[in-house]
Structures are given as structure tokens and as C-alpha cells.
Amino acid sequence: MSSVPYVRLSAFYFAYFAYVGAFTPFFSLYLQRELALPGVEIGIILSVMALARILVPLVVGPWADRSGHRSGVLRVSMVLGAITWAGAFAADSFIGMLVLIAVFSAVVAPVMPIFEGITFSHVRDHPGRYGPVRLWGSIGFVVTVLVVGPLLDIYPIRLLLWLLLAVLVAGALMAFSVPEPVAVSHSADRGGVWQVLAKPQVMALFTACFLMSVAHGPFYGFYSIHLAQAGYSKTAVGMLWSLGVVAEIFVFLWSPRLFHRFSSETLLKFAFACAILRFASIGWFAESVIIIVIAQLLHAATFGAHHAASIGLVSAWFGDGRRASGQALYGSLTYGAGGMLGSLVSGVLWDAVGPAWTFTFASFAGAIGLAVLVRARRLAPSQETVRIPGQQNAV
């Protein structure tokens, strides 16, 4: 039984989510304040990123599985991402930034589906190790947010472009340390990915996760703008983003106990119930620091528990031989398609009806997702094949 390359996997998670921590909370502020773009154009730019996450992994993921060079694809994507981002310094208009983001998103879109597949292959004999490895991505996010927020309160927001370039270069370097998993027999992986997707349990899982991504569209696109308009400083915005991710870290740390005590279906339903409350609270009570803090703590459920349970189920359904393909399909149809719809709708709603109703839309999407889960039958495969991250036994 091979050991898990804990340090190298954790290092890449840290580096990649350091980029996410610089980009997600502050890039929409950059678009609004540096480029003076309205909400609709910000939503369009962010939706292009989601569109790339729909299309590109569907091609690259299966190719990476067939070729057996998943780590090589990861390295090429990260290097091209860093090179492409250098063009952001010349993108000073809506069209220029739209083109830049379209190209950049296309080259980095396969990174996380492929890396999640690599990680699950490495921890397949040690499922309890996924949470402790993945939490380093959350730590990277928190560290970056806590550094970037205060810097942008002192220096012009254009500094964000340099900070993003720095963490992308670091991520590209870390990609070269990621080892290729040892190949295993795929004889048990019967049927293609689309045959697996057609199963009622998988369709229900993907539909619900799509709706969770729709619900997060307003959050990822306009949460920082919403707080800034309510009078929060960039440092405070960064601290609130960090608070949510710190809560998420505890979920990954406790994932062995959580998934031993509760089924994945139970945790997913709880996550959707929290999403309903969380996004409505953000929309209507931004002026209340206490409510906003509580809402951010619910990130532990709406992302942490939801993410661990859902990708564990995806890994169980698609098996080792189709792991990159399955994760790519999941990322495309849930994070990609859901994120695109959430970004587009929230961009329109932001200008038309304002923040409160935009986040109410997010809460409504969460409610529909919960209804899908309540109606669904058991989401997990047969008891013998389930290996949820952090859980040694069946779901």
C-alpha cells in the first residue's frame, strides 16, 4: 500500500487556493472601482469564467484519464494560466477584460477537477486523509485574504493584478511537485461517464449541486461589493471571507468524525437548509455585523460539508478509472453551469432590484435544491463501494 504524498498535495492546494483567495473576494471590486463596470458587465465577465468550467474540463478530463498524464496536464494548465494573466495589465475595458478572462479561464478550468482526481487516486486506500490534505487549500485562501485585504486598503486596487500574478507563478511551480498516481486496474469501472450520470441518484445529486452553485453566484460575484456599499473596509471584507473559510477548515479537520456519524445525504440536506438562511441574511441584514458573522460561519455547511459530501459521492460513483472524467463532469455541470447562471442572473438583478432581492434569489435556489434532495432516493452507490472522504465505512 503506497503512502499518501501529503506534503506535495497539500502544497499545491495551498498555492492554488492562495490564487482563489486573492481573486474571488477582490476581483469584482477591481472591475467596479478600477474599470468602472456596471453590475451587468461584471456578471457577464464572471459568467465567462463559469462557461469555461463547463466546456473545457469535459474535453480535458477524459483525455487526461485515457493518457494517464494527469499531472502533466495540471502543470501545463498552471503555466499557461500564469502567462495568460500577465495580459490583465493591458485589459482596461469591458471587452479587453472579457477576452482576457475568457482565455485565462479556458486554460485554468481543468486544474481543480484534474487535481481532485489525482488526490482521490492517492488517498483511495486512505480515505480519511482527504480532509486533512484539502484543508491546506482553505488555509492558503485565508492567508492570502488576510494579506491582500489590508494591502488594498493602503495601496491602489491595481496592485491586485501583481498579487494574482505572483500566486499564479507560485502555483505553477508547485504543480511540478505533484506526483502522478500509480495506475490501478479499471475492470470494475463499468460503463461510460454518461451512463453513470443517467442513474437517478446521480442526476438528483448533480441537480442539487447545480442549484447550490447557482445560489453561490451572487455571493462570489457581489458579496464584497455589497459589504463595501454597506460601509465595510477592504480589510473587514477580507476578514469576513477568511472567517467563512476558517469555519470550512474545521469541517475538513473533523470530516472523519462527521462522515462516520452522519450520512452524506443528511449533511447535504443540512447544507442546503443553511444556504437558505445564509443568503437571505446576507441580503437583508448586511448592516448587522453579528448577523453577517453568523452567516459567514454557515460557510462551513454551504461549502465545506457540501463539497466533501458531494465530491466523495462523485468519486464513489465514477470509480478510479473514470475519476478525472467524473470530477470534470461534476465540475462542468454543477460549478460551471450553476456558477454561470448564478453570475448572469445576479448581475441583472443587482442593477434591477438591488442587493437584498439578489441574495433572496440565491436563497430561493437553495430551497429548490433542498426540495430535490428531499424527493431523491438514496444518493450513494451500493454499500460495498462507497468511500466518502474521511469515512472508512459505507455512507
Q: Residue 312: what are its φ and ψ, rounded to 5°?
A: -65, -40
For residue 323 the three cell numbers come to: 475519476
- Name which residue leads in pLDDT, 198 or 14: 14
Q: Which of 105-109, 117-121, 151-155, 380-384 has the lowest mean pLDDT?
A: 380-384
DSSP track, 1-68: -PPP-HHHHHHHHHHHHHHHHHHTTTHHHHHHHTS---HHHHHHHHHHHHHHHHHHHHHHHHHHHHHT
Q: To the nearest 10°, report the CA torsion of 363, 213, 193, 116.
A: -130
pLDDT bin (cut points 50, 70, 90) of residue 225 is very high
**Is 317 a residue whose pLDDT tops 60?**
yes
pLDDT value, residue 321:
59
To the nearest 5 percent, what fractions of the chain are helix, strand and coil?
80, 0, 20
58/50 Cα distance (integer angstroms): 13
pLDDT bin (cut points 50, 70, 90) of residue 312 is confident
- Name which residue leads in pLDDT, 184 or 37: 37
For residue 383 the three cell numbers come to: 454499500
138/252 Cα distance (integer angstroms): 9
- What domains are there in the chain, each with its CATH number? 6-181+191-375 (1.20.1250.20)
CA angle in degrees (0–180, nearest 5) for 160-166-169: 140
310/330 Cα distance (integer angstroms): 9
To the nearest whole percent, how much of the chain has pLDDT over 90?
56
Mean pLDDT, the chain, integer: 86
Q: Residue 349: what are its φ and ψ, rounded to 5°?
A: -65, -35
pLDDT value, residue 307:
87
100/49 Cα distance (integer angstroms): 10
pLDDT value, residue 275:
97
**Is 139 a residue whose pLDDT tops 50?**
yes
pLDDT value, residue 123:
73
Q: Note the pLDDT tens digit of each residue in 254-304.
A: 877 887 888 888 999 999 999 999 999 999 999 999 999 999 999 999 998
Averaged pLDDT, 317-338: 77
Answer yes or no: are the C-beta atoms of 106 and 81 closer than 8 Å.
no
**Is 186 a residue whose pLDDT tops 60?**
no
pLDDT value, residue 394:
29
**Which residue type occupies 51?**
L
pLDDT value, residue 60:
77
pLDDT bin (cut points 50, 70, 90) of residue 151 is very high
Answer yes or no: are the C-beta atoms of 111 and 77 closer than 8 Å.
yes
**Is 220 a residue whose pLDDT tops 60?**
yes
pLDDT value, residue 233:
93
Q: Radius of gyration (Cα) for the chain, nearest Å?
A: 20
As a residue count, the chain comes to 395
CA angle in degrees (0–180, nearest 5) for 331-1-379: 35
3-state secondary structure of 205: helix
Answer yes or no: are the C-beta atoms of 20 and 168 closer than 8 Å.
no
174/168 Cα distance (integer angstroms): 10
Answer yes or no: are the C-beta atoms of 222 and 283 closer than 8 Å.
no
Q: Note the pLDDT tens digit of each residue in 367-392.
A: 999 999 998 877 877 644 444 444 33
